[in-house]
Amino acid sequence: MHKIVIKGGVPLKGEVRISGAKNAVLPLLFATLLSDGQSEICNVPALRDIDTAVALLNTLGATTERVGDCCQVNASAIQSIEAPYDLVRTMRASVLVLGPLLARCGHARVSLPGGCAIGARPIDQHLKGFEALGAKITLDHGYVEAHAERLRGAHIIFDMPTVGGTENLLMATALAEGESIIENAAREPEIVQLAEALISMGAKIEGAGTARIQIEGVSSLNPLKISVMPDRIEAGTFMIASAMTGGDILVRGAQQRDQEALLQKMAEAGVMIHPERDGLRVVGPEKLMPVDIRTSTFPGFPTDMQAQFMAMMAIADGTSRVSENVFENRFMHVCELQRLGADISIDGHSAQIHGVKQLLGAPVMATDLRASACLILAGLAADNTTEVSRIYHLDRGYERIEEKLAGLGACIERVLE
């Protein structure tokens, strides 16, 4: 197993290019199941979650080939409609095959994802949506089975905005008979890209990016050809790296419109952000100011940036409060930050952070994807050496992060434990 070793204290300088967005690629890969031709998705990052999604497509009978940063998928012959436990267990987003399989084959069998490190994360809203479209859902030995001769359009009102639920239902309703309306839909930019992709395949969709999406089902879809948007969470992570090290970096591919909530909070913290033609230049201040954040669905502050922002607040000049409102149990990075000398106390779904002058390097352990990023950021700002182990979490969602940080001058390497 590998770990990442960081000697902190180097201000980051230079330019970094942001990779394609993991959370956009995953639904796009599964959307290729809706067509029986050869699809091509480009700007696909090399990540473990993408490998898992491709393995799942292969299990279903699709043929896949990686050519450079493009991924070609031919789903002409679907031979299986089952997403097995071993794949769903390692990546919850595997449940996104339910919608496409049900719409295209009339039948899908997907292992229940079960609990995960950041809370229970049920899929009841996905299932409620499929039932509204006329699917018969049964639970059998840990698997969800869904059947429908042909899905029929329906009016679906989610109890809460769910990213995966909105994506699953968008893909299913695109091939359903008649009109569907999804209300209380999630509005994340990745959902907008999925809708644009489906529209380019021939789907009739209006309102993606708002809480009300209208879909007029069609009987078939063409293959997909698309280039993936930049990863706003990776971009945000590099912005915070610059802020925490008193750096000055150009984050190429970072897009202001997808980052407003984060950018406002970073500005409040005293970070200088200058939009440039191809990205955002981020200059860290001498002194970071404390800032309160509350996570929520888009356009609110993203839960996927909460851990990284908390690392930054750990060295701010004063006390800040972080409220996690999307997931239960998403404060597992706190104990590890405390090992680095952070002064943080948790009260339910809120954390109070008293900034310290200096974090102190130590061995720490990553517990989930964004927690890993938070610990790397803390290590970049800490004195001495920080060793982050269990970095397989990191490889699920950050492409070559240590190489990119080293390119900005950080003293960081991946070594065998």
User: Interface residues with ligand UD1 (CB under 6 A)?
Assistant: 23, 26, 92-93, 121-126, 160, 162-165, 186, 303-304, 326-327
Q: Which position's Cβ is nearest ligand UD1? A: 164
Q: State the Cα–Cα distance between residues 132 and 153, nearest whole angstrom.
A: 8
Minimum distance from CB of 298 to ligand UD1 (Å)?
7
Q: What is the largest CA-CA distance in the chain?
A: 63
Residues 6+ apart with CB under 8 A from 87: 52, 55, 56, 59, 94, 111
Which H/E stretch holds residue 46?
none
Catalytic residue among 42, 70, 105, 116: 116
Minimum distance from CB of 164 to ligand UD1 (Å)?
3
Which H/E stretch holds residue 215?
strand 212-216
Minimum distance from CB of 25 to ligand UD1 (Å)?
9
- Choose between 330 and 404: whose C-beta lies nearer to ligand UD1: 330
Minimum distance from CB of 409 to ligand UD1 (Å)?
29
Do 380 and 244 contact (CB within 8 A), yes or no? yes
Q: State the Cα–Cα distance between residues 177 and 392, nearest whole angstrom.
A: 42
- Choose between 19 and 125: whose C-beta lies nearer to ligand UD1: 125
What does the block give as tokens for 43?
């700007």
Do 87 and 59 contact (CB within 8 A), yes or no? yes
- Choose between 137 and 406: whose C-beta lies nearer to ligand UD1: 137
What does the block give as tokens for 41?
């998705």
- Choose between 151 and 249: whose C-beta lies nearer to ligand UD1: 151
Pairing relation of β-strands 343-347 and 204-206? unpaired
- Choose between 122 and 178: whose C-beta lies nearer to ligand UD1: 122
Do 22 and 50 contact (CB within 8 A), yes or no? yes
Minimum distance from CB of 145 to ligand UD1 (Å)?
17
Do 1 and 386 contact (CB within 8 A), yes or no? no
Instruction: Say whether 411 is catalytic.
Output: no
Active site residues: 116
